[in-house]
Amino acid sequence: MLVALAWPTAPLQAEAPHTDPPADILPASALDAPSPELLARLEKEHVIPDPSRDDRATCALVLFEQPREEVMELLTSTTRQKEYRPELARVEVVDVSDHANVTEYKLRFMLTSLSYRVREAWDPASGRVWWSLDPTFDNELRVLDGLWELRALDDRRTLGRFSTRIDLGPALPAFLQDYATRKKLPESMEQVRHWVDSGGKWRP
């Protein structure tokens, strides 16, 4: 859920994941009224860049072949992220509350490993899952904010919009940051889609 592309911007308020999704990664969404042309493209490609994106975040649209409730349940199964994210060396939930948690991650990338904690929250009624770095932890990422928005297309398909901002900080040179974020986004979204569409059985 937390792998994606974006570039450095001011971090969000620490409390945001436990109240509302981060406002500045919420541009006008293609989920509100998807055009027939957009839906036709999603039927063919399943993962595409979001045409409603702005420069503050990187966004993708994903067509899931699962009901919204099932997609929401899987996307909020935090510790199961290792099943479709082989770059994760550790995923440990360190605090849990109603529709929210704090999770510690260790990410492996090439010869580098990065540790960080994320505050995540979700609202099943609105179909949203959002997260940002826990500022009380000594994070080895500079910025990480994200949001899933989910809308039911019918009783068996869900349109998801993923948006995120990430800055890996000084640990990686610029060309590796570019590879780890922008160039990995389509592959990362395909992994999420395959895993969700299989009901959590698919493995990369």
Evaluate whether residue 1 is within a structural domain: no
d(CA 155, CA 120): 27
Evaluate whether residue 139 is within a structural domain: yes
Structure tokens at 171: 């640990």
CATH number assigned to the domain comprising residue 184: 3.30.530.20
Residue 174's closest CA among 3, 7, 2, 4? Answer: 7
Structural contact between residues 133 and 142, judged by C-beta atoms closer than 8 angstroms: no
Q: Per-residue confidence of the chain (204 residues) as pLDDT tens digits? A: 444 333 223 333 333 444 565 554 444 465 777 889 989 999 999 999 876 655 556 789 999 999 999 999 999 999 999 999 999 999 999 999 989 999 999 988 777 888 999 999 999 999 999 999 999 999 998 989 999 999 999 999 999 999 888 887 776 676 666 666 666 788 899 999 999 999 999 999
> Which pLDDT value is given to residue 178?
67
> Which pLDDT value is given to residue 6?
30
Spell 77-96 as b/e; 16+ CB within 10 A means b.
ebeebebbbebbeebeeeee
> What is the count of structural domains for the chain?
1
Residue 78's domain comprises 57-197
Evaluate whether residue 26 is within a structural domain: no
d(CA 80, CA 189): 16
Supply the DSSP symbol for 155: S
d(CA 160, CA 68): 9
Angle at alpha carbon of residue 13, lines to 10 and 16, rounded to 5° = 125
d(CA 184, CA 204): 14
d(CA 79, CA 85): 11
Residue 153 C-alpha from the chain's centroid: 20
Evaluate whether residue 25 is within a structural domain: no
Evaluate whether residue 35 is within a structural domain: no
d(CA 168, CA 176): 10
Evaluate whether residue 71 is within a structural domain: yes
Evaluate whether residue 12 is within a structural domain: no
Evaluate whether residue 21 is within a structural domain: no
Burial (Cβ within 10 Å: 0-12, 13-18, ≥19) of residue 151 = middle
Q: Which residues contact 111 (CB under 8 A, 6 or more apart)?
A: none
> Which pLDDT value is given to residue 29?
60
d(CA 64, CA 156): 9
> Which pLDDT value is given to residue 112?
80
